[in-house]
Structure 1
Amino acid sequence: MPVFLTRLLSLLLPLVAALTVVPSTGAAQNLFAPAIRVNEQVITNYELSQRIRMLEVLNAPGDPEETAREDLVDDRLRLAEARRAGIQVTEQEILEGMEEFAGRADLSREEFLTALAQGGVEEQTFRDFVRAGVAWRNFVRQRFPSEVDVAEIEVDRAIAGDGTGSNLRVLLSEIIIPAPPQEAARARAVAEEISTYTSEAQFSSAARQYSATRSRENGGRLPWQDITELPPGLRPIIQRLSPGEVTDPLPIQNGIALFQLRGLEETGYDAPEVAQVDYAAYYIPGGLSAEAQARARVVTSEVDRCDDLYGVAQGQPAGVLDRRQAAPAELPTDVAFELSKLDPGETSAALTRNNGQTLMLLMLCSRDREVIADRDARDERREEIGLELRNQRVGQLAERYLAELRANARIVEE
């Protein structure tokens, strides 16, 4: 997976529902006139407006126009370098890349394209985005195949830190801002403001005002958690924070998440990784409305364990109840984080689906932790961690190489 896709996906995680975005004023003047020239290549106003739309639909953090300009320039440089290396991207690779990207949002390729189309994003825009990513991934594999070596001591350090477990606990506060399509712009503006906060009092006040989770009554404050209980994509983001700092807005499906680090401590105990989560989702019409929340409280009062939900769902359409077992890394980020706060038998009614029209009542059934006991399993885990470290190193080399391409390129804004 190319670094730029991985970075976007770790923040994105599930797709936020589509919305219509007004193209920038410059792009509206002449859609097919050049907006940017990259060496001998042209980026049109149309391409720019489409990439802006796509970033808005994905609810990506930052300024959409600035990000779109930077990403399109980088894409041109990636594709040009791949062509110079004789790399051609096949139609099958593009389709697989589209499927992979959509799968991170727990959608099929067709569903993902439909959501984009509802926001005014053409399929070709998504295909071009994926083509550049696949071309760069293939180039990086060819350009840096044997330039990376990982020492055994680095693997040892990774295992001691977060390879098979971690002795790190974090104290977080959370804000989950609902962001259905009609409220997405307002939610983004609020989230950007909150991300600049540095005091716990400010963050707690915002949680009480804007957050949709049960923790809002406590100013968003959560109890101590082992770092291994957090979704894998969220851990490095949290570990980069200093106490008091707030994450950038993190898009989730139908919402935006922010986290403030209040405390960090070593416990002296390596908590095993969570290997599998068994959970159930019961869907209630009405989104975050008072009626839907009331129904969720009634259901919660009637059940003690996940099996009880089958009785609640009896006689209703099959899709109203979804029972799944999955590794944390396979879960949508918003679901993974909500489940991380629950004990078996507990529920959460903070998330929505279907463009905010359906409330998702989550219940944690069980959480199985990984214990690596035999030598073969430990050796296999060491190989996995070594591969992860090599991939990280290759990613760093690729980013530096792209930075050099950009520095040496002739880039002209029209």
Structure 2
Amino acid sequence: MTPFKLTEELVSEIEQLIELHNDAELNAMLGTVHYADVAEIINELDKEQATYLIKLLDSDKTSDVLTELDEDVREAILSNLSTKEIAGELEELDTDDAADIIGELPKEQIQDVISKIEDREHAKDIVDLLRYAEDSAGGLMAKELVKVNENWNVLTCVKEMRVQAENVTRVHSIYVVDDEEKLKGRLSLKDLLTTSTKTHIKDVFIKNVDSVNVNEDPEEVARIMSKYDLEAIPVVDEIGRLVGRITIDDIVDVIKEEAERDYQMAAGISQDVEADDSIWDLTRARLPWLILGLFGGAAAAVIMGGFEEMFREYTVLFLFTPLIAAMAGNVGVQSSAIIVQGLANDDIKGSISNRLIKEMLLALLNGFILSCLLLIFTWIWKGDFPTSLAISISLIAVIVVAGFIGTFVPLFLDKRGIDPAIATGPFITTSNDIFGILIYFSIAKLILGI
């Protein structure tokens, strides 16, 4: 199968067919195209053209297309659909995707859409999901799953599973519950097929099953599923009742969103923005950290001003100021990036003091090697050994302090419940620049006896 490739020629052809209302050709062209690829096409169309395609194609495809669209495109399309048309699209979706889309609608429209969903059980499940916070396992889960009672025999179990499986796109696991709907374990398909039809489920099910609470953080759910290589995980309420399941496709979205958020934060962007957002939104996201950098630079200038007399006698010190600031920033970012990654993967073990000692020893080793190289270079270039030595020793101190700050800050933020990714961006770079310059000139002044 040839991978789909979106081209300007294809988009232009789709636009022309829409303008001519050539429905037969559009259906023939897009009927076999994967819904994710159709969404990619629709993202390039204007509001009216996108709505035309959504109304033209079958609901079993367009419902999935809606889940793949950019949020602003989906919002524009939904505003062009009637409540009955929206309800028809939602009927084709799993409850988690349907709840996500309904949550984006205006509050006054939500009740009207739900009332027009013909499958009342489906509507009830969507309403149940809307009760949970978006940033929780409950807000992430779907209600579609296959569950059996521990008191059923195998024959009854198979009959019930056939009925339930009709509403489930993929059956990852068969969950076992008691009469109070509390999760007891899971059922192996192999055991089900090889066991007598009269055997009770409670005699063959597997009691060891990983689950998460409805209030669990999505990132923790992702960590558990990644650690145990799970394709799906059951979700239970406060008293242990099985209320839904989370599948791997939802977790991939969580991991992707978290990675994008951390990357933006590391780049000094304080809000979740995209390249297509307005200039004002992009400015609001970037400006706070740029202001921090501005004040940081001003503070560094003030510090350098305090050593003005030293510049007159040792001009070479001024020449190496950018190098010292850059090394401090680089070492700090490296240290903080490793710690943040370890925290995200739950790989950071032991006490903070042990981690700090390790990072400082690493910084000391790197600093010694780099300072030796710098000493040789400066001595050959300027022929002034005392000054070269002062610059090299200062570099070691700056690297060690930068490593300490880069390690301590994300660990401290994590202990305080603050996203440690903030420590990989301009915050850590600016702080290390300031400390680096202060340490550089202070040690150089001490060694040179100025």
- Normalised to the residue count of structure 2, the TM-score between the two structures is 0.23
Larger Rg over CA atoms: 2
Structure with greater contact order relative to length (CA < 8 Å, sep ≥ 6): 1
Instruction: Report the structure, 1 or 2, having the larger helix content.
Output: 2
Instruction: Report the structure, 1 or 2, having the larger strand content.
Output: 1
- Normalised to the residue count of structure 1, the TM-score between the two structures is 0.25
